[in-house]
């Protein structure tokens, strides 16, 4: 495989299959470690986000869980990992569908929000102040379903400069999210995944 300027491999058909199989194998192993107690829930989240970070090579990767009925949903951050500080539990506000309806709709309909210039993206207008404050210039967010219901989002952020997310990056993240959803669905006690970071660090 080769890497482009953003650090992500370009894939042909065969290498994409190999990468998907490798992701499935890693996730199965981590799931088994979680269920056996060899890996804590925080540890499971940490290795998942670290793997995405190593492949996409963006500034930060976080995972969010959907709660509530359609129209009143919210996204709760359950994991975050960044290139500089690694795994962390810095606070993130819940995202409310009532405030960010266009973003929620896009994730529900197309399962992806790809924004090369997040500050100028009308779909992210409600986030702009937060994005500017954190210097997040580009987003690649992919939602995934468990047992047919939309369940969570893997969010990749680029700080400092805009970024043209490549088709290979988008394809890889979609496939990884699908593989993750499969392992969550198969895990006994998978509801444990839904527990957010400690409440004390989730409010700012």
User: What are the start-end ranges of the E strands in the chain?
Assistant: 2-3, 9-10, 60-67, 74-82, 86-87, 95-96, 112-115, 136-146, 149-159
Domain chopping of the chain, boundaries: 12-193
Greater confidence (12 vs 79) lies with 79
Helices (H) and strands (E) in the chain, counts: 5, 9
Give residue for tokens 């580009």. Answer: 138
CA angle in degrees (0–180, nearest 5) for 129-66-178: 105
Name the fold adopted by 12-193.
Beta-Lactamase (3.30.450)
pLDDT in tens, 113-127: 999 999 999 999 999
pLDDT in tens, 38-93: 988 888 888 999 999 999 999 999 999 999 999 999 999 998 999 887 877 666 88
Find the largest Cα–Cα distance for the chain.
Answer: 46
């Amino acid at each position: 495989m080769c890497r482009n300027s953003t650090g992500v491999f370009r894939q042909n058909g065969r290498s994409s299959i190999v990468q998907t199989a490798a992701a499935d194998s890693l996730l199965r192993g981590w799931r088994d470690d979680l269920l056996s107690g060899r890996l804590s829930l925080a540890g499971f989240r940490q290795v998942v986000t670290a793997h995405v970070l190593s492949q996409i090579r963006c500034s930060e990767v976080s995972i969010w869980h959907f709660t509530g009925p359609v129209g009143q949903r919210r996204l709760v951050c359950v994991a975050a990992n960044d290139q500089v500080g690694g795994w962390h539990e810095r606070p993130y506000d819940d995202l409310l569908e009532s405030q960010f309806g266009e973003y929620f709709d896009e994730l529900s309909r197309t399962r992806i929000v790809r924004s090369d210039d997040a500050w100028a993206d009308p779909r992210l207008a409600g986030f702009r102040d937060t994005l500017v404050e954190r210097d997040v210039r580009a987003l690649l967010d992919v939602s995934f379903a468990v047992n047919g219901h939309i369940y969570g989002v893997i969010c990749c952020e680029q700080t400092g400069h805009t970024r043209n997310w490549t088709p290979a990056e988008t394809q890889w993240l979609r496939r990884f999210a699908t593989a993750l959803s499969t392992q969550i669905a198969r895990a006994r006690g998978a509801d444990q995944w839904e527990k957010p970071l400690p409440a004390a660090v989730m409010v700012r």
